[in-house]
């Protein structure tokens, strides 16, 4: 099946009511989070929830700052881009 292109992968599965998630990662190796505004992301049609990671006064490379669940992958990506975060870079 795989060789013929007929194999089903998890990416190909679409279930009714399925949500898609995206995470916002910091652009700095080490930074203090001064301000986070998720209001624009929350207003996008199709966004079901926007979550802030607990105790996010600091961020380091690879640690998610926020997460989004939406009805399509494209909407989830748009919502992540709509989240505004003000960082104060710190020494690594």
- In order of start, what are the domains of the chain with their CATH numbers? 17-89 (3.90.1170.50)
In what order do the strands lie in the sheet containing 47-52?
A: 20-24, 66-70, 47-52
Q: What is the mean pLDDT of residues 70-81?
A: 97
- What's 66's DSSP letter? E
pLDDT digits (tens, 9 = 90+) for 25-65: 988 888 888 999 999 999 999 999 999 987 666 677 778 99
- Report the 10 Å Cβ neighbour count for 19: 16
Could you tell me where the beta strands, DSSP code E, fall in the chain? Answer: 20-24, 30-37, 47-52, 58-60, 66-70, 84-89
- Report the 10 Å Cβ neighbour count for 30: 14
Tell me how far apart the alpha carbons of residues 65 and 57 are, in angstroms, rounded to a whole number.
Answer: 10
pLDDT digits (tens, 9 = 90+) for 9-19: 777 777 889 99
Which of 66, 73, 60, 61 has its CA nearest to residue 32? 60
């Amino acid at each position: 099946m795989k060789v013929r292109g007929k194999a089903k992968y998890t990416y190909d599965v679409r279930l009714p009511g399925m949500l898609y998630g995206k995470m916002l990662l910091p652009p700095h190796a080490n930074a203090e989070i001064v301000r986070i505004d998720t209001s624009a992301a929350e207003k996008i049609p199709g966004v079901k929830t926007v979550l802030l990671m607990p105790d996010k006064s600091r961020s380091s490379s690879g640690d998610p700052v926020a997460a989004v669940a939406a009805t399509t992958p494209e909407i989830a990506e748009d919502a992540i881009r709509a989240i505004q975060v003000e960082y104060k870079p710190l020494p690594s």
